[in-house]
Amino acid sequence: MIIYTHPACLLHDPGPEHPERPARLEVVLETLRSHHAEADWREAPIVKLGDLRRVHDEALVREVLEADVSGYRMLDPDTVMCPASRAAALRAAGAGVAAVDAVMNGEDKTAFCAVRPPGHHATSAAAMGFCLFNNIAVAAAYACDKHGLERVAVIDFDVHHGNGTQAIFYNDPRVAYFSTHESGIYPHSGAPYERGVGNMFNALLPPGSGGFRFQNTWADDLLPALEDFKPQLVLVSAGFDAHMRDPLADLMLETEDFGWITRQLRDIANRHAGGRLISMLEGGYDLEALRDCAKVHVDALR
Identify residue 271 by its one-letter amino acid code: R
Residue among 12, 121, 161, 181 flagged as catalytic: 121
Residue 113's alpha-carbon distances to 173, 254, 274, 288, in angstroms, are 25, 22, 20, 19
Cα gap 237→281, rounded to integer Å: 6
Nearest Cα residue to 253 out of 281, 203, 220, 292: 292
Does the annotation count 121 as an active-site position?
yes
Q: DSSP characters for 249-284?
A: ---BB-HHHHHHHHHHHHHHHHHHSTT-EEEEE---
Query: Crossing angle, helix 85-104 and helix 58-66, to 10 degrees?
Result: 120
Residue 291's alpha-carbon distances to 28, 288, 296, in angstroms, are 5, 5, 9
What residues have CB less than 8 Å from 275, skipping those under 6 apart? 109, 110, 266, 269
Nearest Cα residue to 102 out of 238, 1, 174: 1
Reported residue count of the chain is: 302
Nearest Cα residue to 241 out of 204, 286, 205, 280: 286
Pairing of β 40-43 and β 200-205: unpaired
Cα gap 301→259, rounded to integer Å: 9
Neighbouring-strand partners of residue 182: 205
Active site residues: 121
